[in-house]
Amino acid sequence: MKFLHTADLHLGKILCEHSFIDDQKHILNELLKILGDTSYVALLIAGDVYDRSVPDTNAINLFSQFLADLSTTRPDLDLLILSGNHDSASRLGFGKEIFSRLKIHFVTKPEDMEKPIIITRHAQKAAFFLMPFFLRRTHYTGDTQSPFVDSALFLQEAQKKAREEGADWTVLGAHLFASGGAASDSERVFVGTAEQIDISRFACFDYIALGHLHRCQKIGALNAFYSGSPFAYSFSEANDEKVFLSVDLQPNDVQVQKIPVQPLRHLRQYEGLFKDLYDPSSLQDLRDDYLEFILRDPELVENAYARLRTKFPNLLSVNQSKALKKKQTTQIKRKRTESRSIVDDFKQFLSELYDTVDESQCDLFTEFLHKIEEEEEDI
């Protein structure tokens, strides 16, 4: 039994005031092409369908059209969707009872995650459990009078029951931060490690389809995979491989194959001097890409973004942090020479604190100050 695993579509995403809606439409069309292969019985989207809890109309219309196209071209396919931390659970789950009749299954409430979606093909049965994002990894038993119980233990019991009822395979889809996972700049991170999950607690499942982290990666020794986002949503992901995961459930094995995603445009980061980037004959192969240029010029270049954008129409950002830091350091030094020095301030501090000034302390302070200034100049 074979299904496709993806996550973190982030429909409606905006970066540097640019909408990626056309690029996301292209990605969803690529999904439709792959799912034209009738050997796939399901598509699992592991959270973050939208980029915002209140998505804009373009994002909603895009996903609505995708659902309609998929239902038309593959009415036999089951679509399994769970909510992520960017989604509004109530909005994403609207109409789920009606959608389920069309084999489109939304799970957005923790209390629904122990009810598996059963898919049967050729006398074989797979039970899919969907675990939406929620801040505390705890779960109500269904009785509002009952205390919270550990969600992992609850799912283990549900998985065991599915096996006893004849499931050949059990699959868990979840949107969470697995311990040991590698994050990127475009994810919404949590403070501390309280929300990180030890994925080995779900070892009873044959495959764990994860969402939240945007880099495709395997977690631990289990068949636990992040598909990653199908498009680079930050420049820290510019060199990451973007894929869909094809998962083949076999009697004694699970085979996972990466299907590369060909974007409409690439997101790239490039470093260099302004004159080299602005040269009409250079970097012609990057003209249509989404770009961030990191300028290595020692001085600030005026109107760098506007000038470079005449050559690169999809330029998103120009980073002049090196020159800016040098300018700020120069301004700080100028202020020091125009007014009291830091050493003078330090002497006054000592005088007010101890009613005396120890020259040896001033000498030591001056030595440290010079070292810091030298280090700033080397950066």
pLDDT, averaged per 10 consecutive residues of the chain (379 residues), comes to 97 95 97 97 97 96 97 96 95 93 94 91 94 69 49 88 96 92 71 70 96 95 95 91 97 95 94 94 93 92 94 94 68 57 81 78 87 73
Q: How far apart are CA 304 and CA 319, in angstroms?
A: 9
Residue ending a domain, choose from 260, 275, 310: 260
Which pLDDT score, from 0 to 100, does residue 185 have? 72
Whether 55 is in a domain gets the answer yes
Q: What is the pLDDT of residues 287-335, one digit of tens each?
A: 999 999 999 998 888 999 999 999 999 999 999 987 777 655 555 555 5
- Picking from 260, 280, 310, the residue at the C-terminal end of a domain is 260
Range of the domain at 109: 2-260
How far is it, in rounded angstroms, from Cα 116 to Cα 166? 13
Q: What is the pLDDT of residue 332?
A: 54
Q: How far is CA 10 from CA 51, 60, 63, 230, in A?
A: 4, 11, 11, 9
CATH code where residue 226 lies: 3.60.21.10
CA atoms within 13 A on the CB side of 281: 0
| Domain co-membership, 112 together with 230 | yes
* One domain, residues 87 and 123: yes
Looking at the fold, whether 9 and 158 belong to one and the same domain comes out as yes
Give 254's strand partners. 249
- Count of structural domains within the chain: 2
Q: Are residues 256 and 271 in the same domain?
A: no
* Residue 291, phi then psi, degrees to nearest 5: -130, 150
Asked if residue 373 belongs to a domain, the reply is no
Task: Check: CB of residue 253 under 8 Å from CB of residue 229.
Answer: no
Mark which of 236, 260, 284 sits at the end of a domain: 260
Mutual orientation of helices 342-354 and 359-378 as an angle, nearest 10°?
Answer: 150
Q: How far apart are alpha carbons 185 and 330 in whole angstroms?
A: 31
